[in-house]
Amino acid sequence: MEIADIPILARGSADPAFFAREQAQLGKLWTLLGLTTDIPRDSDWLRASLGGRSVFVQRFGDTLRGFENVCAHRFYPLRTADKGNGPIRCGFHHWQYNKDGLAVGIPKCQEMFGVTPRELSARLTPVEIATCGILIFGRFANPEHQETLEDYLADGFPILQAMWSLQRAPYAASATIAANWKFGLHISLDDYYLVAVHPSTFGKNGVIRRANLGLTQFR
């Protein structure tokens, strides 16, 4: 089967180039990056993925800021763990950035570049950040999508806000699926496949759940 014969919905699972383009497009949309309860203290940060690119969100007092996880100097990752606390300082050459993503500490800057760090005006790529309850969403700035998170989520915003207005960190579990992310998402949204694929684990011989879900066996 040729790539062109695969439906658009599933093409990213077979074509790496298509998958990369698809992920880049998703980076322009509001995407869940983490929880505010994961970064409760000043200078706390968390690392996430957005549009196939590594990003991080950091707390500066009452403000959350997001940036692509790449130093503007030699493109070294600024955050090499999932969570932490501390200034935005590159571990490669110790370039340090402020809450606006501006490089304000550059060793031997005058000697190497002939200007001060602020005059050099080196910056990190910003990530737009918004919250809904304790949920942190982010996106790369782009002219195609200007709607606020509240507009983007529409009727779902107040529902999520009510569900995620916790003051403490919820229990979290994670697992790695060796497949395109869409497969896991679609399976989690399907109700009827459970009794078909796992008949012995849903009610006695699957009869209870099969009846509840209204599934009919055809002979």
Segment 87-103, tens digit of pLDDT: 999 999 999 999 999 99
Q: How many domains does the chain have?
A: 2
Query: Is the residue at 54 inside a domain?
Result: yes
In a domain, 11, yes or no: yes
Is residue 50 domain-shared with residue 117, that is, in the same domain? yes
How far apart CA 200 and CA 207 sit, in angstroms, is 9
Dihedral sign for Cα 102, 106, 110, 111, please.
Answer: negative
Q: What is the pTM of this model?
A: 0.81
* Residue reference for tokens 């005058």: 110
pLDDT exceeds cutoff 80 at 41:
yes
126 and 190 in a single domain? The answer is: no
b (16+ CB within 10 A) / e for 175-199: eeeeebeeeeeeeeeeeeebbeeee
- Note whether 58 and 148 are same-domain residues: yes
pLDDT for res 218: 41
Domain presence at residue 42: yes
Residue with the larger pLDDT of the pair 61 and 197:
61
State the pLDDT confidence band at 6, using cuts at 50, 70 and 90: confident
CA distances from 71 to 23, 119, 142, 191, 192 (A): 22, 17, 21, 45, 47
The answer to whether 28 and 152 are in contact (CB under 8 A) is no
127-152: average pLDDT = 96
Domain that holds residue 196: 181-212
185 and 137 in a common domain: no
Q: Does residue 32 lie within any of the structural domains?
A: yes
| Residue 208 pLDDT greater than 70, yes or no | no
**Coil, helix or strand at residue 123:** strand
Query: Do residues 196 and 174 lie in contact, with contact meaning Cβ atoms separated by under 8 Å?
Result: no
Indicate if the pLDDT at residue 217 is higher than 50: no
Give the residue with greater pLDDT, 67 vs 214: 67
The CATH number that applies at residue 140 is: 2.102.10.10
